[in-house]
Structure formats: structure tokens, C-alpha cells
């Protein structure tokens, strides 16, 4: 038996103002997208903004349903929208901002497992990393360079 350590670099910014310009703009787009979330059940609003290599930015927000599992997270709405609209484009990064209508989120929310899996699918497909930038409503911002950082040992097409 040998023990392997899996680690990654997580960049921690005190606020979004510390981000480099293009990440800051992407986060601001995610914040705006968050406002249009359809979240009457959870009152939890999430916005996502994706930057493509062609310069286009694609947004998404969570879309809920009275039949709860039929709803979809902001990240997947944005990823599927990007792939549907610009199927050949390379996805550079995704900024995600989450907050509650009941309280102020002062720390980032981590993307759910299904969203990590979906982002991973496109990262594997394009053979280039997708950076993930996370924020609540205020407070610190986290950034990692690849979805594989936060979804190590992912299931992918190589098994099929
Ligand atoms: N949600 C997202 O949109 N993204 C996440 O990463 C976590 C959760 C949504 C799904 C649901 O509409 C609400 O937040 C509460 O789970």
C-alpha cells in the first residue's frame, strides 16, 4: 500500500475587488444573473457566468419546479446553454455567485456534485481546464484553475 496525497491550489481573495479585471467582470455578470433566478421554493438565488474563448459570455441561474427534482442549478443551466449556443467554443472559466433571499451569504457556496460532474464533462471534452470562481453575496472569493481540483477521481468517458 502507498498513500497518495491529492492537493490543489485554491486562491482566496478577500473581496471580488482583488480579482483580476476579467474575473471581476465575469463575477459581476454572475451577480446580475443571480437576480433573475426562479427560486420560489428555496429562496436561494444562484447566478453563473461563463467566459468562452470567442469572447462571448453566457449566463445561467437556478430554475426551480413544483416537482423539486425537475429544477436545475444555475451552473448546469449556464453550461448547457453555452454548449447549445456555441458548441465548438472552449470554456475558459465559470463565475458563480449564490445568496439567500432570507439572509446575506458572506461566503461562497460550493457547486453541487451534479454540477461538478457536468463541468467536468466539458473540461474533458475540450482537453483544457475550466477555472471556477466562487462567491456568496459579499465576502471572500475562491478560485481554482480546474474543475478536477474540486472533483478529483471523476468518472468520465474513459470508462465507457
Ligand atoms: N443551487 C444552484 O443553483 N447551484 C448550486 O451550486 C447549489 C444549489 C440551487 C438549486 C436550488 O434551486 C437551490 O439552489 C437550493 O438548492
- CATH number of domain containing 38: 3.40.140.10
Report the domain count for the chain.
1
Q: Is the Cα dihedral 60, 135, 122, 127 positive or negative?
A: positive
Does any domain span residue 6? no
pLDDT tens-digit profile, the chain (160 residues): 999 999 999 999 999 999 999 999 999 999 999 999 999 999 999 999 999 999 999 999 999 999 999 999 999 999 999 999 999 999 999 999 999 999 999 999 999 999 999 999 999 999 999 999 999 999 999 999 999 999 999 999 999 9
Residues 6+ apart with CB under 8 A from 17: 24
Q: Which of 68, 71, 66, 73 is nearest to 34 (CA)?
A: 73
- Is 75 in the active site? yes
- Decide whether any atom of ligand 1 lies within 6 Å of the 62 Cβ: yes
Which member of 75, 121, 127, 137 is catalytic?
Answer: 75
- Decide whether any atom of ligand 1 lies within 6 Å of the 81 Cβ: no
Answering whether pTM is above 0.85, one says yes
d(CA 94, CA 117): 14
Nearest CA residue ID for atom 8, ligand 1 = 73
Does any domain span residue 110? yes
Does any domain span residue 2? no
Q: What is the residue range of 82's domain?
A: 20-140
Amino acid at each position: 500500500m502507498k498513500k497518495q496525497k491529492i492537493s490543489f491550489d485554491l486562491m482566496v481573495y478577500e473581496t471580488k475587488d482583488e480579482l483580476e479585471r476579467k474575473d471581476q467582470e465575469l463575477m459581476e455578470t454572475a451577480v446580475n444573473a443571480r437576480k433573475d433566478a426562479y427560486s420560489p421554493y428555496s429562496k436561494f438565488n444562484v447566478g453563473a457566468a461563463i467566459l468562452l474563448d470567442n469572447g462571448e459570455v453566457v449566463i445561467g441561474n437556478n430554475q426551480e419546479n413544483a416537482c423539486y427534482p425537475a429544477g436545475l442549478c444555475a451552473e448546469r443551466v449556464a453550461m448547457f446553454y453555452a454548449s447549445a449556443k456555441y458548441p465548438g467554443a472552449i470554456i475558459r472559466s465559470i463565475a458563480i455567485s449564490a445568496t439567500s433571499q432570507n439572509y446575506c451569504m458572506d461566503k461562497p457556496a460550493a457547486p453541487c456534485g451534479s454540477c461538478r460532474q457536468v463541468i467536468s464533462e466539458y473540461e474533458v471534452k475540450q482537453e483544457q481546464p475550466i477555472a471556477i470562481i466562487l462567491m456568496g453575496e459579499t465576502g471572500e472569493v475562491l478560485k481554482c484553475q480546474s474543475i478536477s481540483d474540486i472533483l478529483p477521481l471523476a468518472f468520465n468517458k474513459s470508462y465507457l
